[in-house]
Amino acid sequence: MPLKAKPQETKEHEPTKFEVGNVKAIQGKKDSYRMTLVINGVKVYGAKYIKYTGTDGKDASFISFPSYKGADNKYYNVCWYPISDQELHDIERLMEAALGDGEQLPF
């Protein structure tokens, strides 16, 4: 007798809440910042915001989550959360506010 999947209930999800603290420029890395990122109350220490120019010449940015190097010389994320383009924009604004004194990110 084949098993049947139970119907899934669809629920409205509350929007993700982000907070940013301890924003610091990374020495020697242009347009890179280290921060504490809080996602729905969970603190992620050592997250990095990195802005770069892609191979197509367009500016892009991403959040790099903390990782460690395994015995096989590969890097593995300690944690990860999918961040949409809109959420990345919101995090950029929070970073500017955390820098204080109306200072804006240099991009």
Q: What's the pLDDT at 2?
A: 64
Interatomic CA distance for residues 87 and 93, integer angstroms: 10
For residues 63-80, b (16+ Cβ closer than 10 Å) or e, as one string? bebeeeeeeeeeeeeeee
The amino acid at residue 14 is E
**pTM, rounded to two decimals:** 0.72
Per residue in 70-104, pLDDT (tens digit) is: 999 999 999 999 999 999 999 999 988 887 765 55
Q: How confident is the model at residue 31 (pLDDT cuts 50, 70, 90)?
A: confident
Joined tokens for residue 55 = 């191979």
